[in-house]
Amino acid sequence: MSLKQKTRELLKRREEVELGGGEKAIEKQKSIGKLTARERILSLLDKESFHEYDLFAEHEARDFGMETKVLHGDGVITGTGTIYGAPICIYAQDFTVAGGSLGNMHARKITKIMDHALKMRVPLIGINDSGGARIQEGVNSLAGYGEIFFRNTLSSGVIPQLSVILGPCAGGAVYSPALTDFVFVVENISKMFITGPEVIKTVLGEEITMEELGGARVHSEITGNAHFFAMSELECFDQIKKLITYIPWNNSQKAKAFPPKEPKSNYKIEKIVPNDPSQPYDVRDVIRAIADDSDFLEVQADFAANIVIGFGRIKGDTIGFVANQPLVLAGVLDCDSSDKAGRFIRYCDAFNVPLVTLEDLPGYLPGVDQEHAGVIRHGAKILYAYSEATVPRITVILRKAYGGGYIAMNSRHLRADFVFAWPGAEIAVMGPEGAANIIFRKEIMGAENPDEMRKQKVKEYKAKFANPYVAAAKGYIDTVIHPEETRKLLIHAIEVSKNKRVGQPKKKHGIPPF
Ligand code: HXC
């Protein structure tokens, strides 16, 4: 064969592979509003940056008619490319080929690119669109998942791992995304569940649609499995690209610094927080009044909205923001918000992202539901995550800091580097009304006018404790600042913390309250 003929053969082979499961299957994929696996990769990565590997891989299955089946790429596309110049390892399951089901070769292609990502210390992106374990390949498929889960765990905290759910992600397949750092879902397209509607109907006799069981909104709002929700695949890719600009390639680097920008002038920090501690406000406006260009990439925006987490920049450097949200449940800590914040704090700590905590909360949420749901175990996660984190950690107490909430939200006692308070901050064991009712109960009950007496005692308690100066006098907070000074002081605190070095006692690993 001449070189020309060999080249022609190569092109022909490539063309065949690139057709995936064939025109009919591609048509079906498109008819439900989905892009093909190849289109997804090409839309997400920088133009002409994608290089595919193992496109000529062939499965070795020999049972249930598989011996005669040609499965192009064995149902998954793998390769490397860049996003805004950042190197990326990527795989995308191709539903048009045997439903993107995971057989032995399919898994080997994924684990090969995962090994590459870990070795090269670059982010890994997995696009999931699959019917799960390839039924015809039996235990080989299960082995494949096990190999993936093991690598997800090995890479955790070393390289960023992003999972994009763009189709079914059924059965054990869900555990790979669950082990990764960020999960992206798209309205009407993403479906994630352990046991599908048919199994539920057979076992429990209950009828439920895939959407109701594990659609994009379910995982964004109820389960907390998803971190980013989008209305379309293209919007989802924009979210991924934006996230990639905020995070480093691996745990030995820092995120790329951007040119600093002042916050937008329409966010007036001194006007956002009402003086009355019972009045709500949107803490995201405070973040936008602090962050460069008022840009804030919120993570898990619709789950446990009583706490806000996400990335912004201060003077060009990526910052992880953790903020109580007085708009929702007065910003209390509960099981879900503790899980949400705890995990994010650990992500930032693993990837050298300094943390800024904005505090305004009445404490942990009381009630039988919370107690029985395990608020002790879940609530401990945020304490553990902050205490363990060695990245620069700065807290600004905006208003209320009551009870366990005061301790949990990156207090000095958990080794915050800097704690600042605004003049309206109230730092106390509990709110003045509750406190006065307990400690002055006898005086109030015995008074001629109990209501008047209660008011007076609340006033007394407020004057004594509900201010920042008792804590400032003890050195628990470093200084009381005017809201307008916040950004300037944060810039300074981050600057002086750049070479922070703290040790942990030698141990194999801690035992966090999982
Ligand atoms: C082999 C599969 C497959 C699978 C789909 N296909 N899932 N082949 N193994 N797991 C094939 C179909 O046979 C079909 O092939 C093609 O993919 C497209 O599938 P359709 O059913 O036509 O597509 P659709 O109607 O869109 O339904 C999608 C679906 C459904 C909901 C995902 O296919 C489905 O329920 N699949 C099975 C899901 C499942 O139970 N998986 C196993 C989970 S157990 P043809 O040739 O007809 O085009 C598991 C254990 C892992 O994953 C444990 C790890 C710890």
Angle value at C-alpha 145, between 139 and 147, nearest 5 degrees: 105
Residue 329 Cβ contacting ligand 1 at under 6 Å:
no
What pLDDT does residue 433 have? 84
Atom of ligand 1 nearest to the CA of 198: 35
- Type of residue found at 220: S
Q: Are 68 and 226 within 8 A, CB to CB?
A: no
**Atom 33 in ligand 1: residue holding the nearest Cα:** 131
Place of tokens 């080929």: 97
Distances (CA, A) of 113 to 50, 52, 71, 110, 130: 13, 10, 19, 5, 18
Q: What is the pTM of this model?
A: 0.96
Residue 107 Cβ contacting ligand 1 at under 6 Å:
no
Q: What is the distance in angstroms between the CA of the first residue and the CA of the last residue of the chain?
A: 62
Mutate to test the pocket of ligand 1, among 135, 150, 169 (most ligand atoms within 8 A of CB): 135
Q: In this structure, what token pair is assigned to residue 60?
A: 């070795």
Calpha distance 103→59 (Å, rounded): 8
Calpha distance 459→437 (Å, rounded): 12
Residue 405 C-alpha to ligand 1 middle, in angstroms? 47
Q: How many CA atoms lie within 13 A of 235 on its CB side?
A: 9
Q: Are 283 and 326 within 8 A, CB to CB?
A: yes
What pLDDT does residue 463 have? 84
User: Per this entry, what is the length of the chain?
Assistant: 514
Which helix (H) or strand (E) covers residue 479, if one does? strand 479-480
What is the b/e burial string over 258-273, where b = at least 16 CB atoms within 10 angstroms of the residue's CB?
beeeebeeebebeebb
Calpha distance 91→70 (Å, rounded): 20
Calpha distance 45→82 (Å, rounded): 6
Q: In this structure, what token pair is assigned to residue 400?
A: 């209320």
* Strands, E assignment, 301-435: 307-314, 317-324, 355-361, 393-402, 418-421, 426-428
Residue 145 Cβ contacting ligand 1 at under 6 Å:
yes
The 3-state secondary structure of 22-34, one letter per residue: CHHHHHHHHHCCC
Residue 54 C-alpha to ligand 1 middle, in angstroms? 23
Residue 133 Cβ contacting ligand 1 at under 6 Å:
yes
Calpha distance 222→455 (Å, rounded): 41
Atom of ligand 1 nearest to the CA of 132: 52
Calpha distance 91→89 (Å, rounded): 7
Strand bridging mode 86-93 / 76-83: antiparallel
Residue 209 C-alpha to ligand 1 middle, in angstroms? 16
**Atom 32 in ligand 1: residue holding the nearest Cα:** 131
Place of tokens 């235990």: 139
Domains of the chain: 3-246 (3.90.226.10), 269-430+466-496 (3.90.226.10), 432-465 (no CATH)
Question: In terms of DSSP H, where are the helices of 98-229?
Answer: 104-120, 139-155, 175-179, 197-204, 210-214, 216-217
SS3 157: coil
Q: At what angle do helices 450-464 and 432-439 cross, to 10 degrees?
A: 120
What pLDDT does residue 172 have? 82
What pLDDT does residue 8 have? 96
Which helix (H) or strand (E) covers residue 337, if one does? helix 335-350
Residue 363 Cβ contacting ligand 1 at under 6 Å:
no
Q: Are 273 and 267 within 8 A, CB to CB?
A: no
Strand pairing partners for 356?
Answer: 321, 394
Strand pairing partners for 76?
Answer: 93
Tens place of pLDDT for every residue, the chain, 514 residues? 899 999 999 999 999 999 999 999 999 999 999 999 999 999 999 999 999 999 999 998 898 989 999 899 999 999 999 999 999 999 999 999 999 999 999 999 999 999 999 999 999 999 999 999 999 999 999 999 999 999 999 999 999 999 999 999 998 899 999 999 999 999 999 999 999 999 999 999 999 999 999 999 999 999 999 999 999 999 999 999 999 999 999 999 999 999 999 999 999 999 999 999 999 999 999 999 999 999 999 999 999 999 999 999 999 999 999 999 999 999 999 999 999 999 999 999 999 999 999 999 999 999 999 999 999 999 999 999 999 999 999 999 999 999 999 999 999 999 999 999 999 999 988 888 888 889 999 999 999 999 999 999 888 888 888 899 999 999 999 999 999 999 999 999 999 999 999 988 999 999 999 8
